[in-house]
Amino acid sequence: MTQPFAYCPHADDVLARLRRLFGDRDPQMLCAQMDWPNPALKDFAARHPEGFCDYPNPKERIAFWDAFLRERSRCFDDSVPCAYLSEMDQGLYGGIVGGEVEFMSDPGTGWISSMVHPLIDDWAALEALEIDENCEWYRRYRHQLRIFVEGAAGRFGISHFILINGLNFVFELFGATRTYQELVDNPDMIGRALDFAFELNRKVQRTFFEEVEGFAGGTCSNMVQWFPGQILTESVDPFHMTSVDYFERWGREQLERIFAEFDGGVTHIHGNGRHLLEAVSTVRGLKAIYLGDDRGYPSAFDVLPEIRERTGDLPLVVGVDHERFQSALEESRLVGGVFYKVGGLPGPDEANRLMETVRKNRARSSER
């Protein structure tokens, strides 16, 4: 029996269901997370207006996650409670090599995210970049990890956080527009930057797994909740505005290389990147895709049968409002092999009632 988190007393049931979805790739499995207005977000918004801000106190951040996840523990859904190091999600990597880091508050999510100004002006400066574990940003990273681990102990886990690997790191070097130009003008130097990015990301992620104890032999995840082993979360965002050929030339190898260093990984694809679905789905070591929704594109939920045909049996994660989800559930129209993030419920009582129905059902539309 798994020693449960205090905020997830039904952990054995949740992990069994997640194993069937993400591990066994059961094509009829339905899993879901239920969301309703969380008082912790209201409190966060009152104290942190939207926009640029300073690096926050890590103790304040873990207190936010405690309040947020304590409220969520009122629902017995398929989620695994975990805090996300949003402060380290982009700026950490550039900060380690001397970049100027800025932070931005998002009251809608409770995140304080980081980003970095372009690091260099020319390729000669690449040679001067060093990965120094004694630099301010690496020390800040370890410090926050340890505060989070201590603050979460026994109640919830710590999620893996995004890599800034491959072309994502070259974006941090030059910015996006210049990066696309350099792919054409200086492909050899791009290759050297990718090698540096690999070493940086591998070191940062190994530090994470050194400091953060896994849960039930797996990794907590804001993307897929939990997966056995040491699992990464990576982005293919730079290729959303390129052809598939560019992904095959500059993206696939980078994903497969870093995934092979650990036990695989997950990724996300936005609405403007769905032309990549077939290619990304065949990346070695990929365990699941989170499908984002963006203005100007159909919601992933509305075109999910088509997406399922394009991605084979790869597990998917999609968001949907509870009215459309409930209607599809009652009419046996839900696509299987999917984790549904269901939003807009009035409260935990309604969420629990809907989850009772989810647990009794398997997807009929996924039979193929």
pLDDT per residue over 177-228, tens digit each?
999 999 999 999 999 999 999 999 999 999 999 999 999 999 999 999 999 9
pLDDT at 338 over 60: yes
Per-residue pLDDT, averaged over 100-122, amounts to 96
pLDDT of amino acid 362: 78
Going by pLDDT thresholds of 50, 70 and 90, the confidence category of residue 368 is very low
Indicate whether 6 belongs to any domain. Answer: no
Instruction: Identify whether residues 203 and 231 lie together within a single domain.
Output: no
Q: Residue 365 above 50 pLDDT? A: no
* Sheet with strand 265-269: strands edge to edge: 30-34, 338-343, 316-321, 286-291, 265-269, 232-235
If asked whether residues 202 and 246 sit together in one domain, one would say no
Whether residue 197 sits in one domain with residue 243: no
- Please check whether residue 9 lies inside any domain of the structure: no
Token reading at 127: 């040679």
What pLDDT is recorded for position 159? 98
3-state class of 213 per DSSP?
Answer: coil
- Check whether residue 68 and residue 126 sit in a common domain: yes
Q: Which position has the token pair 């009251």? A: 107
Q: Is residue 1 part of a domain?
A: no
Residue ranges making up the domain that contains 348: 17-36+224-368
User: Of 159, 190, 214, which residue sits at a domain end?
Assistant: 214
Average pLDDT over residues 66-87: 98
pLDDT digits 0-9 by tens, 125-159:
999 999 999 999 999 999 999 999 999 999 999 99
Looking at residue 2, its pLDDT comes to 65
Quote the pLDDT of residue 363: 64
Tally of domains in the chain = 2
CA 138 – CA 131 distance, rounded (Å): 9
Residue 113 shares a structural domain with residue 206: yes
Query: What is residue 129's three-state secondary structure?
Result: coil
Residues 185 and 264 in one domain: no
Statement: residue 367 has pLDDT above 90 = no
pLDDT at 46 over 90: yes
My answer on whether 61 and 169 are in the same domain is yes
**Domain final residue, candidates 193, 214, 235:** 214
* Residue 313 lies inside a defined structural domain of this protein: yes
- Verify that 205 and 265 share a domain, yes or no: no
Task: Examine the domain organization and report whether 295 and 363 are in the same domain.
Answer: yes
Tell which residue, 51, 54, 134, 146, has the closest CA to residue 91: 54
**Domain stop point among 153, 183, 214:** 214
Q: Are 309 and 366 in contact (CB under 8 A)?
A: no
Give the pLDDT confidence of 159-177 residue by residue, as tens digits. 999 999 999 999 999 999 9
pTM (predicted TM-score): 0.96
Six token digits for residue 348: 């935990």
Is residue 3 a part of any domain in this protein?
A: no
Looking at the fold, whether 256 and 206 belong to one and the same domain comes out as no
Amino acid 99: pLDDT: 95
Which amino acid is residue 264, in one-letter code? G
65 and 193 assigned to the same domain: yes
**364 pLDDT more than 60:** no
